[in-house]
Amino acid sequence: MEKNPVKQENAMSCGVACVAFVLNIRYQKALKLFENAQNAEDKGFYCREIVEALEKKNLDSEYKYIKNPAIKRLIYKDDSIVYLRRSKKYPMGHYLCRWNTKWMDSWINFPDEDRNAGFRKRLPGKPIYVIFTKT
Query: Could you list the pLDDT tens digit for every one of the 135 residues in the chain?
Result: 889 999 999 999 999 999 999 999 999 999 999 999 999 999 999 999 999 999 999 999 999 999 999 999 999 999 999 999 999 999 999 999 999 999 999 999 999 999 999 999 999 999 999 999 987
Contacts by residues 48-52 (CB-CB < 8 Å, ≥ 24 positions apart): 49/15, 50/15, 50/18, 50/19, 50/81, 50/95, 50/131, 51/131
User: 0.95 exceeded by the pTM?
Assistant: yes
The confidence score (pLDDT) of residue 123 equals: 98
CA 48 to chain centroid: 12
**In total, how many domains does the chain have?**
1
The shares of helix, strand and coil residues in the chain, as percent rounded to the nearest 5, are 25, 20, 50
In a domain, 3, yes or no: no
In a domain, 8, yes or no: no
In a domain, 54, yes or no: yes
In a domain, 6, yes or no: no
**What CATH number is attached to the domain comprising 49?**
3.90.70
Full domain range(s) for residue 79: 13-133
- According to DSSP, the residues that pair with 64 across neighbouring strands are 130
- According to DSSP, the residues that pair with 83 across neighbouring strands are 95, 129
In a domain, 5, yes or no: no
